[in-house]
Structure 1
Amino acid sequence: MRRLPIAAMLMLASTSHGGRPLTSDDAASAERGSCQLEVWLEQQPEFQQAVLAPACGLADGLEFGLTWARGRERTAAEPLSVDMASWAIKWLPVRSPWTTAAGTLVLGLKFSGDYQRLGTSGWQLQGYGVLGLATLELNQDWTLHLNAGPWRDKASRGQASLLNLALVWRPMPSSLVFVEWLGSDRPGLLGAHVRSAGMRWWLHSDKLGLDLSASRQAGVSGTSWTMGLGWYGIGF
C-alpha cells in the first residue's frame, strides 16, 4: 500500500487534537450533560476529506470526544481512500482558573488515540499520546493556547514531542480571528511544521458557528483550506 502525502497524514493526525476552527486545543470542556457536534470539509493540494467530530461533557471538567474522517487522494491515477477514527478524553484537574500577572490561566490534559484504514485494508492503530493544555486569557479580546506533550507512532515505534501554539483575537462578540503554529521535534515522523490562520462567525451566539481556515506546511507547495460548522450546547 503506497504512502499518502505527508501533508495529508499530518492533517489527518491533527484532527484528534483540536476543536474547530483551531487545530490547537483549549483548556475547556463541554458542560456536564451537554454535547457539541463539529463538521468540516478540508481541501489540500493532493487530498480532500470530510470530518465529523462529536464530543460530550460526562462530568464537570471531563469530556469524551470522537472523530471520524473520510478522505481521498485527488491527483493519483488510482486514487486511494483513507478512513480515520480517533477518541479523546479531556480532563481539567484544576477546575478554578488561576489569576496571574499575564491574565487568567486554565490547565488541562488530553489523552487520545488514532486509528486508520487505507483502501480496503483493516483498521490499524496509528498512534496515541497525551497533551498538556494551557489557555491564558490575556484580556476579554485576546487569548493564547499552548499544547505540548509526547506522541507515540505505532508503525515506526518512534516517539515525538508535539507543540501547538495559537493566538485568538475577538474583534467583536460575533466573530474571532486566529493564527497558530503546529510542530514537533521529529518532522520526519509527523511532517514539517504547519502555519494556519482563520476565523469564525457566530450565526447564533455560542451555539452555532461557521468557520474558514487556511494552512501551509513547510516544504510543501499549495495551501490547505477548510470550511466547517460547529453546533454547541446540545443537551442529553
Structure 2
Amino acid sequence: MPRIALFCLLQALTLPALAARPFVTDDARLTTAGSCQLESWVRIYPESREIWALPACNPFGNLEVTAGGGKARNDGQHGTGDFILQLKTLLRPLETNGWGLGLAGGMVHHPQVNPGPNLLGNTFVYVPMSVSFADDRIVMHANLGWLKDKASGEQRATWGLGGEFRLHDRLTGIAETFGDSSSGAFWQAGARFAIIPERVQLDATLGRELSGPASSRWISFGLRLTPDRLF
C-alpha cells in the first residue's frame, strides 16, 4: 500500500479523540471537564513521515470536541494533509473495576482528494467501550464503527481492540490491533511515560500492517499535555 494511502487509512481509523496517545483504538473516557488537552506525535515509515496535532476540549462536562490535523510526506514527493473534526460523549463513564461506553462521530477532510470549498470529507461514527480490571492496572478497549469514503462512495466497518497495562506508577505498556472491512489489519505496541502524572506524557510505539510488506512498519513518538482546568 502506498504510504500516502496508508496515511489516509490510518487517520480515518485513528478517530482522533483517540484514546490517550499512543492508541488508535479509542477509550470510553473524555478530556477533563472544563479543560483541554493537546495530543501531538510523529509517525515515521521507511519511506515517509507524518506529523499530527489534535487539540480537544470538554467545556460542558460530557461533550469532547476535537479539531486538528496532520501532514504526511513521501521521500522526494509532494505531501498531503488532512483536517479532522470530532464530537464524543459518554453513555456510561468508565469506573475502576467497571466498564464504560461512549459514542463518537465526525468527519475527515482530504484537500488533495476532495478539493474545493466543500469541507465535508469522509464521515464516521463509532462506539468505544472500555473495561477496567485489577484496580485499573489493566484496562481493555474495543471499538466498532462505520466510515463512508466520500471520494469512492465506499462504506466500511471499522474496528479496534487494545489494552493498557500499568507497569509502574508512571509507566504504562500498550498493545492493540485495528483495521477496517476493506483493508488489512494493523498492530502496534509501545509504552507511555508520565513526566508529570495526569499532566505531561511522552510515548513511543512500533507497528506495521499484519500481513503487509516491510515498508508498512512505523515508529511513532508522541507528547500529550493535559492541564487541570482552562474554563
SS at match of 1:16: coil
TM-score, normalised to structure 1, is: 0.87
CA offsets 1:212-233 (integer angstroms, 9 cap, x no match)? 0111013232321110110002
1:8 lines up with 2:7 in the alignment: yes
Write 1 or 2 for the structure with the bigger share of strand. 1
Equivalence for 2:222? 228
Pair 1:96–1:44, CA change in 2 (3 A) = closer
Question: Contact 2:141 / 2:162 at 8 angstroms: preserved in 1?
Answer: yes
Question: Contact 1:35 / 1:54 at 8 angstroms: preserved in 2?
Answer: yes
CA offsets 1:30-83 (integer angstroms, 9 cap, x no match)? 122100011111111222111111001122221001121122111x4xx12111
Q: Give, in whole Å, the separation in 2 of the partners of 1:70 and 1:230.
A: 18
Pair 1:168–1:106, CA change in 2 (3 A) = same
Out of 125-134 and 224-233, give the one that drifted further: 125-134
Q: Give, in whole Å, the separation in 2 of the partners of 1:181 and 1:4.
A: 19
Amino acid at match of 2:10: M
Equivalence for 1:166? 162
Q: Any stretches of 5+ residues in structure 2 without a counterpart?
A: none
Amino acid at match of 1:147: N
Alignment of 1:1-236 (within 5 A): 5-17=4-16, 18-19=18-19, 20-74=21-75, 76=76, 79-95=77-93, 97=95, 103-118=97-112, 122=116, 125-140=120-135, 141-187=137-183, 192-217=184-209, 218-222=211-215, 223-236=217-230
Q: Give, in whole Å, the separation in 2 of the partners of 1:36 and 1:209.
A: 11
Out of 215-224 and 173-182, give the one that drifted further: 215-224
Q: Give, in whole Å, the separation in 2 of the partners of 1:234 and 1:72.
A: 35
TM-score, normalised to structure 2, is: 0.89
Q: Which runs of 4+ in 1 moved over 6 A?
A: none
Q: Give, in whole Å, the separation in 2 of the partners of 1:49 and 1:73.
A: 9
1:126 CA displacement: 3.5
SS at match of 1:118: coil
Pair 1:164–1:196, CA change in 2 (3 A) = same
Question: Contact 2:178 / 2:185 at 8 angstroms: preserved in 1?
Answer: yes
Amino acid at match of 1:221: A
Amino acid at match of 1:133: P
What is the identity percentage for the equivalent residue pairs of Structure 1 and Structure 2? 24
Pair 1:85–1:234, CA change in 2 (3 A) = farther
Number of aligned pairs? 223
